[in-house]
């Protein structure tokens, strides 16, 4: 992706030439020529910095792209009255201008550019490529060619969730709302594997709150994270909520999940690992896990999720824990009562030994534990 140094270089070049470019004493033709030259310089910076980060998609040869945007052509000049006011509406001007440049460039080779180059070229002026829209396509996910119309990327395309995150991040870094809008509203996420989803849930630090916010509608943001900031432990869950809101689904190898949580957190270490059992028999340990929000998101994604609250944990080989009268977890070690409990470790062991039928919660949640037994048999 385009590094920040390329963007800063473009801003510096723009700032140094802004006054000369828009001087009222220059003709329209000279201003257009200067702008095109500046765009070429910006693009060169972009290409030199990001050459190693381009996707596997093949862009059109740079010489054809430069030949197109550097071509000396007659500019479109809208009809004006004696006071210099445009006689046509904004839409009519756009249509006439599009027709003008369509004819001007009809014999030029069409070109395809990367999403990174599109972001670099349009960061300082969203209309920078407007005159060339009939000849330029942008390479999107899976090398799909995306048309541009009125400075917007057009169409709806399938994409992986990683691709969507990457393009939203590019739009955020370059300040290009058109790219963010395209990624978060027009890309349709392909089904995500359950293991991939677990990887996301287990790594909040890999996500950027600003990027996740850009993918969420205001209503969802207020409903599920009403505060000023999204808590760190909820970032991955909110990212998957955005995935769900775009129509994303989890592939069907898992249809149920069981999340085991303590009935009280007194006597348990802060931010303990959370144990999840899935219907394919796998046991997952998740750190920094917002299990309440995760259960809601997983249900939205088509995975029926049960939060199993435990007041006792029993294993045949590693001891047991339960909650005392003070609502604090305790265990007996060498005949001594100790107010602490390695809850996630014992839950994992209990599931592997299938010793949960010995705990008091088993009677109250017998139907759920029956489903847990079936999952462990998978």
Convert the pLDDT of each residue in 243-254 to its tens digit: 999 999 998 789
- For residue range 64-117, list pLDDT tens digits in order: 999 999 999 999 998 888 888 888 899 999 999 999 999 999 999 999 999 999
Mean pLDDT to the nearest integer, 208-215? 94
* β-bridge partners, 276: 259, 284
Please, which residues have CB within 8 angstroms of residue 240's CB and are 6 or more apart in sequence?
Answer: 197, 200, 201, 294, 297, 301
Lowest-confidence pick of 27-31, 88-92, 370-374: 27-31
Other C-beta atoms closer than 10 Å to the C-beta of 121 total: 25
Give the pLDDT confidence score for residue 16 in this predicted structure: 41
- For residue range 254-263, list pLDDT tens digits in order: 999 999 999 9
Residue 291 has pLDDT above 90, yes or no: yes
Give the pLDDT confidence score for residue 55 in this predicted structure: 55
Give the pLDDT confidence score for residue 84 in this predicted structure: 85
Mean pLDDT to the nearest integer, 283-294? 92
Give the pLDDT confidence score for residue 145 in this predicted structure: 95
- Give me the chain's average pLDDT, please: 85
Mean pLDDT to the nearest integer, 351-375? 94
Nearest to 277 by CA among 375, 363, 370: 375
**SS3 sequence of 284-301:** EEECCCCHHHHHHHHHHC
Give the pLDDT confidence score for residue 58 in this predicted structure: 87
Distance, CA of 118 to CA of 129 (rounded, Å): 9
Give the pLDDT confidence score for residue 269 in this predicted structure: 82
- For residue range 36-55, list pLDDT tens digits in order: 444 444 443 443 333 333 35
Strands 336-338 and 136-139: unpaired
Q: What is the DSSP string of 110-132?
A: PEEEEHHHHHHHHSS-TTTTGGG
Give the pLDDT confidence score for residue 329 in this predicted structure: 95
Give the pLDDT confidence score for residue 7 in this predicted structure: 40
The domain ranges of the chain are 4-155, 194-245, 256-377
Give the pLDDT confidence score for residue 22 in this predicted structure: 38
Mean pLDDT to the nearest integer, 319-323? 92
Distance, CA of 322 to CA of 343 (rounded, Å): 10
Mean pLDDT to the nearest integer, 214-220? 91
Give the pLDDT confidence score for residue 305 in this predicted structure: 96
- Report residue 4's pLDDT band, with 50, 70 and 90 as the boundaries: very low
- Token pair recorded at residue 22: 């828009």
């Amino acid at each position: 992706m385009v590094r920040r140094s390329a963007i800063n270089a473009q801003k510096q070049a723009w700032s140094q030439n802004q006054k000369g470019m828009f001087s009222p004493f220059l003709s329209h033709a000279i201003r257009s020529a200067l702008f095109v030259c500046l765009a070429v310089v910006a693009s060169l910076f972009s290409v030199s910095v990001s050459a190693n980060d381009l996707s596997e998609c093949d862009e059109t040869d740079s010489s054809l792209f430069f030949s197109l945007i550097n071509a000396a052509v007659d500019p479109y000049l809208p009809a004006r009255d004696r006071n210099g006011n445009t006689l046509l509406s904004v839409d009519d001007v756009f249509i006439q201008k599009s027709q003008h440049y369509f004819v001007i460039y009809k014999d030029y080779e069409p070109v395809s550019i990367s999403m990174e180059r599109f972001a670099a070229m349009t960061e300082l002026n969203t209309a920078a490529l407007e005159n060339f829209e009939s000849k330029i396509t942008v390479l999107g996910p899976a090398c799909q060619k995306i048309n541009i119309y009125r400075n917007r990327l057009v169409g709806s395309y399938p994409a992986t969730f990683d691709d969507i995150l990457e393009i939203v991040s590019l739009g955020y870094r370059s300040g290009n709302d058109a790219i963010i809008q395209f990624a978060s509203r027009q890309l349709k996420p392909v089904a995500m594997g359950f293991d991939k989803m677990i990887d996301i849930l287990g790594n909040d630090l890999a996500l950027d709150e600003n990027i996740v916010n850009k993918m969420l509608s205001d209503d969802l943001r207020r409903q599920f994270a009403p505060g000023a900031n999204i808590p760190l432990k909820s970032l991955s869950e909110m990212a998957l909520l955005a995935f769900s809101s775009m129509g994303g689904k989890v592939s069907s190898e898992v249809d149920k999940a069981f999340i085991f949580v303590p009935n009280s957190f007194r006597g348990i270490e802060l931010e303990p690992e959370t144990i999840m059992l899935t219907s394919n028999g796998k046991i997952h340990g998740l750190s920094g896990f917002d299990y309440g929000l995760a259960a809601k998101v997983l249900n939205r994604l088509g995975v029926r999720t049960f939060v199993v609250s435990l007041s006792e944990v029993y294993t045949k080989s590693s001891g047991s824990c339960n909650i005392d009268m003070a609502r604090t977890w305790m265990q007996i070690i060498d005949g001594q009562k100790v107010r602490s409990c390695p809850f996630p470790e014992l839950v994992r062991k209990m599931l592997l030994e299938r010793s949960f039928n010995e705990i008091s919660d088993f009677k109250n949640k017998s139907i759920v534990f029956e489903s847990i037994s079936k999952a462990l048999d998978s």
